[in-house]
């Protein structure tokens, strides 16, 4: 809930005084934090990362250029 407004930009501690957190928003914030804590690490979902310079120099490559071509004549 926003009980007050400021006419200009304020430092964070002053701006925090312009907001009040309701019980519902507090529970929603805590639930969202718990979901983020329990979620899988995004890094673990990456099957194949960026190719190394060695991979890019190989004629067959790592398949990167075929998959991620930005050329129009594809």
- pLDDT (0 to 100) of residue 15: 85
| Radius of gyration, alpha carbons of the chain | 24
Name which of 2-6, 9-13, 26-30, 62-66 the model is least confident about. Answer: 62-66
Question: pLDDT: is 18 or 31 the higher one?
Answer: 31
Question: pLDDT: is 67 or 4 the higher one?
Answer: 4
Q: Mean pLDDT across the stretch 26-42? A: 92
pTM: 0.45
- pLDDT (0 to 100) of residue 19: 85
Distance, in Å, from the CA atom of 47 to the CA atom of 10, rounded to the nearest integer, reads 44
Six-digit token string for 14: 């002053």
């Amino acid at each position: 809930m926003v009980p007050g407004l400021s006419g200009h930009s304020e430092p964070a501690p002053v701006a925090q005084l312009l907001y009040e957190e309701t019980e519902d928003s507090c529970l929603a914030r805590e639930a969202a934090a718990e979901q983020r804590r329990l979620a899988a690490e995004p890094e673990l979902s990456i099957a194949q990362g960026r190719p190394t310079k060695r991979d890019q120099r190989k004629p067959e490559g790592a398949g990167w250029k075929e998959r991620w071509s930005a050329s129009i004549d594809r």
